[in-house]
Chain A
Amino acid sequence: MELFSRRRALELTALGFGRVALAHLLAETGAAAPPVYNDLRNRSGHFPARAKAVIQLVQNGGPSQMDLFDPKPMLAKYAGKPHPDGVEIHQPGNKNTLLPSPFSFRKYGQCGMDISEALPRQAEIADKLCFIRSMHTEHNNHLEGLNMLLTCKIFPGRPVMGSWIAYALGTENQNLPAYVVLRDPTGYTVGGKQLWANGYLPALYQGVEFNMSGSPVHHLQPSEPLPPGAQRNSLEYLRKLNALHRDQRPGETELDSRIQNYELAARMQVEAMDVLSLKQESDAVKKLYGIDDPVSGQYGLRCLMARRLVEAGVRFVQVTTRPGQPWDHHSDIRKGLPVISQETDQGAAALVQDLEQRGLLDSTVVMWAGEFGRLPTTQNAEGRDHNRNAFTLWFAGGGFKPGLIYGETDDFGYKSVVDRVSVPDMIATVLHQLGLDHRKVQYAHGGRLETPADVTVTGARVVGDLVSNEVQAA
């Protein structure tokens, strides 16, 4: 028996704190009230959406653009010579001598994108990817860089992109979280939970970690085995208790939503387990992701799970690398970079191919990005230090132009110079593809209307050149 209609259930939502402050903020500015949410129901954006889900492949450590996506012959030509302007360094052990890439490059696909031998699988699908070579960010330290990449500010405290999107759009499948994080079972990357922190948004919009083995979320299953039917009995008893309690307290909608949450939780127990089961996946699919490969299997599995979650209606999925910061090659990049490349290359490429085969790529934005790039000069023995002035990232699907190579860095790959794209621009553009005007996604905090790309400070703009659809404004 349904306790109340679904529609009614969706109406029963406790409003967050934001509303109080907001009312006054608006009375002051005379603006129309942007809605304040504290629920996950599915809602539409400001204009028709080009995509409805995002998969974010976070590459911790700062992948080296000139060893992966942005070849610089000048480095070989002037190998060992100083960089003419000098470069901004971050850590000890730097020499101002140009370090050529130890990896060979080739052009791939119709688009002719240069990709190094380190990423053979991504090279094969170059025509499906939209590369931005002219990214730049603001800080040379990992944590700050990660905060920037995900929240558009270097200091902690702001909500990450996934939280903003879950806040603005809710989610299609109420039996699963709106925002799921798939991390390596052996631990966290640098930044830990800050990578999916809701900041000042209600706790509801925090990323929910799914474990890859056993129980996907904490406490999904009873802590000790119960006889068949025992939990159903208990929930039925609880429902009766709560109904008695509520009947004596008419009009308390919060009690209703809590009753409903137990039902959601019960359904989540089933669906979350299902979504992580590989039973329905064919051998060909498993092979595509390299699930059985000892090197790329773990990451491949997370990429496959990401697809399953998006297929099941999850709004935002974040996939992290193995613990630490595996793209951080301060010395011997020749040896270090291929290790993490091999771990992640196949899964990332397979994800794009698989989404496309299933007709999901069109409605899903896949994003591959680290927190910054690396320097053209030498650190320690053949390593590279952090570089906030240039890095390459790619998008696939969701209206991002396939086979586009956007922007350029300077002769040595130190600084992005042509068609520069800032992190806030990038965030604004992703939101745009989801039908959101980033300026209109608002939350009152600390006496200010906060927005995902904080346009008044960052000057963020949607980069229309990157997408095949028209840029819209709400």
Chain B
Amino acid sequence: MRAARLAWLGLIASAALAAAPTAGNAPVFEKDVLPILSTYCFTCHGKSSPELGMDLRTAASVLRGSFNGPVIEKGSPEKSRLYLKVSKHEMPPPAFESVVPEADVETIRRWIETGATSEAGSEIPESAQRQIQRFEEQVLPLLQARCVACHGETPQSGLDLRSLAAVLRGGEHGPVIEEGFSDKSILIRQLDRGAMPPQGAGEPLSKAEVDTIRAWIDEGGFADYVDKGDTLDRAFTEAEAPKITAEDRDRWAFRTPRAVEPPRVKSKDRVRTPIDAFVAAKLEERGLGLSPEASKQTLLRRAYFDLWGLPPTPEQTAEFLADARPDAYERLLDRLLASPNYGQRWGRFWLDAAGYVDTTGKDFQAENVALAPGMWRYRDYVIRAFNDDKPWDRFLTEQLAGDELYDFRNAERYTPEMLESLVATGYLRTQLDATDEDISDRPVDRYEAMFALMDKVSASALGLTVSCARCHTHKFDPIPQRDYYRFLSVFSAAYNPSAWIQPKKRLLYTEAEPERKEIEEHNKTVDAELAKLDERIEEILAPYRERLLDKKLEQAPEPIRADLKKALAAPAKKRDEVQKYLVAKFGALGKISDKELDATLSKDHAASVAELRKDVATWKGYRRELHDIRALWDGPELPVMRLLQRGSVESPGPKVTPGFLTVLCGDGEDCSAEPSPNRVGETTGYRLALAEWMTNPKHPLTARVIVNRIWQHHFGTGIVATPDNFGKMGAEPSHPELLDWLAVDFMEHGWKAKRLHKMILLSSTYRQSSNRSANPLAARAETEDPDDKLLWRMPLRRLEAEALRDSILAVAGRLDTALAGPPVELTARADGLQFAADDGETARRSVYLTARRTWPSTFLSVFDFPNIDTNCTRRAPSATPLQSLTMMNSEFVLHNAGAAAERAAEMAGAAADSAALVQQAYGLLFARKPTEQEIDLAVEHMAGQRALYEKSNQTAEEADRKAAESFVHMLLSSNEFLYID
């Protein structure tokens, strides 16, 4: 083996020598073209699994082309993609910093022009011949002896193991060997774990026998030299596109929701809304009942946190508790739902589901944030949509296809609706797309971004986990692999893997194209004026600068002065070695600040310069900025998309065209997508078709998924506990009839969230006490339904990270509830702590902090703010000592405790005693009055702290302040602050 390799070393050397250009004659592939390709292209298009199937190592493989079709048209260089890519220097990609010289480009052109000829019988390398021979001699006999009984003439699972070509073609599940990687090869794995041959079908292979096959696969280097026959344009196999049967469809989640009459129940007096009828009926079936209504004070706090994520102020508390009207609670809900605080709270939930981040790329460096310019406009869009109670069918449509609703391409000016819809498509831009770096802008990376998009859309809007079907037909849900790729194709005119746009170049502005040009023209004029002004200023300054420089350089040794001056004058890139050295060593001497220079000016000149600079400032004010948005829009055409066997870009299968999930379409419908007739502008309309399909009232999932998500955020758990998965692997609904009733009611009343909130919050179910012992049937309930799935009480809930941070700021009187705008910067401390840069006088709500994929605010992530790898449909509240440490010791909590204590003291009045402070603090933090016992404990605690501070030489005043701070700090840290009853 070694000898063979060395012989080949010699071959390469002699081939290199022989590869002199054959000017005049028609170029021949092996002699003239191959050396060029091997130099510039083999990195990606030469190895055993070439990018996009484009293997440039032999004339035959070049003529065969890539997965996307031929790249050579004999005689027509201008129609040959290979030539076009190379001559435009699109290939090699610029990131490789290697450019094919024009002479070589010309050789390729001539080669194609003259018919793309090659030497006859160009040979298979010796190493490949050896491997092919090894298969015949060592591997094939094993397969013949043990496998071909089933994998032969009538091959099971479509897998024929009678020849090398057949082995390489694989079975209906895709390839069974992966060259170079035996451990990833299905063939080896099946043999290894003794799954094949199946029991009773013959003797398993010995370890030595398996190792023989393993070693052959690991050595690799043969697959490209075997004619496998064309596997690309075959039909779908049964495994890739199984028929969806009636049995498959027989699941509640795949049928259109139907509303049944709310049931009659015994506890009629508790039925305020249909919700109560459904819940009480389930409870009564099990001999259980609702808990008594919670106190007015509890309801107040519950409603505030649920709808705003903020505690009520003492004034708001007083107002509500004093309101004796029978509809006081309903009026409260109306007030809360009308406030912009509502959208800031509820928008965040959808941002979780949408996987919202402000950053672009992988976000792997703590200190360097790569912000996605203008992404925040999508965040504001979401918050606005909630506050405006935008109907959800419209909300989803804008996010999936806002760009297809208006002809924005030909608009003179964007209308507000047009801009709004474009910004909405930011929903499709939040997933990880790592292709900004040229080095990772390859087909596999592009598909990875598209797969992430599929994960997000399916988990957030569809309520199904489809990602399994990326590699194989879903094992549990009726989602054929073909359906996955059909669905993926819906997005392919926008995310086109063959005509990819890197995220940094996928840009639109808040201004329409003509306006953008106008602005650029305008700025050109302004910039020209600015340049003239700069010139005039420089004219005055130049002699002064020269004089000052000479004076400063006097500090440098005399012999080098002249050279140094020359070196400094030279542009940095043009300096020679000596000059570079001089600048490095003495450059600092030559540095002149504006201030220094100005000080040397004559009075008159100083006045003129000042005047000119004023003009500069004025002109700069005339510049108009362009504002980025992160939108998605279609390219000119739908590319050819294929099913990828085992999810691999390297193993494309049959073509697919856009379509949806068959199981969610009507019986017998093919569920393929047609461009929406409602599309506007030069766009394919497939995403709009998707939106129309999803928001059709017949769709089994959309409305159910939305109402379930809203329910989940009120009760802690959804009616379906797995909001992202209504499939067989998801949880079964606790109240299926209720879910359907709500879904139908939601659609019938215009897809409005606020109406649903109100219905839920008005229900007796929501208004129950959370106290386990309050329920008269508690003992029975604890055994029948210990997890409270049937809602015999309101669950106790922990504040989410944002609500906790916002509430701390709110009670400290420091919360700025302003709407909208670019994200608040996070600062990275050397020890890795990320904190909001606006922790000064006031601070914005947490939804406005920079949302980072990997480095979110430390405070938020300690309290379970999610890692945004794709998206998050449900946060799991944890309880960790790090949370305790954060509450006990962080500057943030301590600082705000001090501010809250001061507020309480102010409210209590100057002459007040400790007890009065305690009264106010309880009102401020807990919206209630303290008990006698609580007052005593607090007063005692403050007295103790005061004594300790005085003992450590603090003034009485300071000791008082610190004692009050400590008291409020512990209230903030307490479970009462963190939990909602």
Name A's B-contacting residues (CB within 8 A): 14, 16-17, 20-21, 23-25, 28, 38, 78, 81-82, 84-86, 88-94, 141, 143, 155-157, 185-188, 190-194, 197-199, 202-204, 208-209, 211, 214-215, 217-224, 227-231, 233-235, 237-238, 240-242, 244-246, 248-252, 254-255, 257-259, 261-262, 264-265, 268-269, 389, 411, 415, 417, 420, 422, 424-425, 446-448, 457-461
Quick one: closest B residue to A191, CB to CB? B364
A170 to B185, CA, bound (A): 34
Task: State the Cβ distance, B41 to closest chain A Cβ, in Å.
Answer: 11
Not counting A21-B725, A155-B448, a sample of 18 additional A-B residue pairs whose C-beta atoms are within 8 angstroms of each other reads A25-B729, A85-B5, A86-B46, A197-B867, A214-B831, A219-B890, A234-B970, A241-B937, A242-B975, A244-B933, A250-B773, A251-B773, A258-B884, A264-B881, A422-B183, A447-B477, A447-B730, A448-B465
Q: Which of B219-244 contact A (CB under 8 A)?
A: 219, 221
Q: Which residues of B contact A233 (CB under 8 A)?
A: 941, 944-945, 948, 966
Q: Which residues of B contact A20 (CB under 8 A)?
A: 717, 721-722, 731
Partner pick for B725 among A23, A157, A269, A447, CB 8 A cutoff: A447
Q: Which residues of B contact A221 (CB under 8 A)?
A: 889
Quick one: closest A residue to B190, CB to CB? A459
Partner pick for B854 among A90, A194, A249, A389, CB 8 A cutoff: A194
Partner pick for B13 among A82, A88, A446, CB 8 A cutoff: A82
A24 near B732 with CB under 8 A, answer yes
Q: Which residues of A contact B855 (CB under 8 A)?
A: 192-193
Task: State the Cβ distance, B99 to closest chain A Cβ, in Å.
Answer: 11
Q: Which residues of B contact A227 (CB under 8 A)?
A: 948-949, 951-952
**A447-B727 contact, Cβ under 8 Å, with A218-B831, A238-B970, A250-B773:** yes
**A220-B941 contact, Cβ under 8 Å, with A92-B98, A192-B365:** no
A188 near B731 with CB under 8 A, answer no
Q: Which residues of B contact A424 (CB under 8 A)?
A: 183
Q: Which residues of B contact A208 (CB under 8 A)?
A: 882
Q: List 23 A-B contacts (CB under 8 A).
A: A16-B876, A20-B721, A23-B731, A24-B729, A89-B43, A90-B439, A187-B367, A199-B867, A215-B831, A218-B831, A218-B885, A221-B889, A223-B894, A227-B949, A233-B945, A234-B969, A241-B974, A248-B771, A252-B772, A265-B884, A420-B183, A420-B218, A446-B465
Quick one: closest A residue to B39, CB to CB? A96
Interface: B874 (CB within 8 A) = yes
Q: Which of B836-886 contact A (CB under 8 A)?
A: 854-855, 858, 861, 864, 867, 869-870, 874, 876-886
Q: Which residues of B contact A193 (CB under 8 A)?
A: 366, 832, 854-855
B970 near A241 with CB under 8 A, answer yes
Quick one: closest A residue to B717, CB to CB? A20
Task: State the Cβ distance, B963 to closest chain A Cβ, in Å.
Answer: 9
A218 near B729 with CB under 8 A, answer no
B439 near A91 with CB under 8 A, answer yes
Q: Which of B956-981 contact A (CB under 8 A)?
A: 966-967, 969-971, 973-976, 978-979, 981
Interface: B432 (CB within 8 A) = yes
A153 to B432, CA, bound (A): 16
Task: State the Cβ distance, B428 to closest chain A Cβ, in Å.
Answer: 19
Q: Shortest 7 CB-CB distances between A and B: which pairs?
A: A157-B869, A265-B884, A447-B729, A447-B465, A227-B952, A223-B891, A219-B889
Quick one: closest B residue to A93, CB to CB? B97
Q: Which residues of B contact A262 (CB under 8 A)?
A: 884, 888, 973
**A230-B948 contact, Cβ under 8 Å, with A141-B440, A218-B831:** yes
A242 near B974 with CB under 8 A, answer yes
Quick one: closest A residue to B874, CB to CB? A17
A251 near B772 with CB under 8 A, answer yes
- Mark contacts of B885-910 with chain A using CB atoms, 8 A cut-off: 1 yes-contact digit, 0 otherwise: 11011110010000000000000000
- Mark contacts of B763-796 with chain A using CB atoms, 8 A cut-off: 1 yes-contact digit, 0 otherwise: 0000000111100000000100000000000001
Q: Which of B926-952 contact A (CB under 8 A)?
A: 933-934, 937-938, 941, 944-945, 948-949, 951-952
A88 to B49, CA, bound (A): 11
Task: State the Cβ distance, A17 to closest chain B Cβ, in Å.
Answer: 4
Partner pick for B184 among A197, A219, A459, CB 8 A cutoff: A459
A218 near B439 with CB under 8 A, answer no
B728 near A14 with CB under 8 A, answer no
Partner pick for A417 among B219, B854, B858, CB 8 A cutoff: B219
Q: Which residues of A contact B976 (CB under 8 A)?
A: 241, 245
B948 near A229 with CB under 8 A, answer yes
Name B's A-contacting residues (CB within 8 A): 2, 5-6, 8-9, 12-13, 38, 42-43, 46-47, 95-98, 127, 180-185, 188-189, 192, 218-219, 221, 362, 364-367, 432, 439-440, 448, 455, 459, 465, 467-468, 476-477, 717, 721-722, 724-725, 727-732, 770-773, 782, 796, 798, 830-833, 854-855, 858, 861, 864, 867, 869-870, 874, 876-886, 888-891, 894, 933-934, 937-938, 941, 944-945, 948-949, 951-952, 966-967, 969-971, 973-976, 978-979, 981
A214 to B5, CA, bound (A): 58
Partner pick for B729 among A21, A90, A259, CB 8 A cutoff: A21
Partner pick for B188 among A85, A238, A257, A459, CB 8 A cutoff: A459
Task: State the Cβ distance, B871 to closest chain A Cβ, in Å.
Answer: 11
A192 near B366 with CB under 8 A, answer yes
Task: State the Cβ distance, B40 to closest chain A Cβ, in Å.
Answer: 11
Q: Which residues of B contact A411 (CB under 8 A)?
A: 2, 5
A220 to B476, CA, bound (A): 47
Q: Which residues of A contact B184 (CB under 8 A)?
A: 422, 457-459
A28 near B192 with CB under 8 A, answer no
A417 near B218 with CB under 8 A, answer yes
Q: Which residues of B contact A155 (CB under 8 A)?
A: 448
Q: Which residues of B contact A217 (CB under 8 A)?
A: 882, 885
Task: State the Cβ distance, B132 to closest chain A Cβ, in Å.
Answer: 16
A259 to B978, CA, bound (A): 12
Task: State the Cβ distance, A253 to closest chain B Cβ, in Å.
Answer: 10
B728 near A188 with CB under 8 A, answer no
Q: Which residues of B contact A185 (CB under 8 A)?
A: 830-831
**A81-B934 contact, Cβ under 8 Å, with A190-B364, A261-B879:** no
Q: Which residues of B contact A78 (CB under 8 A)?
A: 9
Most chain A CB neighbours (cut-off 10 Å) among B2, B43, B181, B937: B43
B945 near A255 with CB under 8 A, answer no
A192 to B870, CA, bound (A): 18
Q: Which residues of A contact B970 (CB under 8 A)?
A: 234, 237-238, 241
B721 near A28 with CB under 8 A, answer no
B974 near A245 with CB under 8 A, answer yes
Partner pick for B5 among A84, A93, A238, A460, CB 8 A cutoff: A84
Partner pick for B364 among A187, A194, A241, A257, CB 8 A cutoff: A194
A14 near B878 with CB under 8 A, answer yes
A203 near B468 with CB under 8 A, answer no
A265 to B885, CA, bound (A): 6
A204 to B864, CA, bound (A): 9
**A254-B9 contact, Cβ under 8 Å, with A268-B885, A447-B727:** no
**A202-B878 contact, Cβ under 8 Å, with A28-B476, A219-B890, A251-B782:** yes
Q: Which residues of A contact B880 (CB under 8 A)?
A: 203-204, 261
Task: State the Cβ distance, A437 to closest chain B Cβ, in Å.
Answer: 14
B725 near A264 with CB under 8 A, answer no
Task: State the Cβ distance, A148 to closest chain B Cβ, in Å.
Answer: 13
A177 to B405, CA, bound (A): 53
A89 to B831, CA, bound (A): 36
Most chain B CB neighbours (cut-off 10 Å) among A84, A264, A389, A420: A84
A265 to B47, CA, bound (A): 55
A230 near B949 with CB under 8 A, answer yes
Q: Which residues of A contact B725 (CB under 8 A)?
A: 21, 446-447
A220 near B885 with CB under 8 A, answer yes
A82 to B569, CA, bound (A): 45
A162 to B803, CA, bound (A): 31
Q: Which residues of A contact B13 (CB under 8 A)?
A: 81-82
A197 to B468, CA, bound (A): 23
B952 near A28 with CB under 8 A, answer no
Quick one: closest A residue to B895, CB to CB? A223
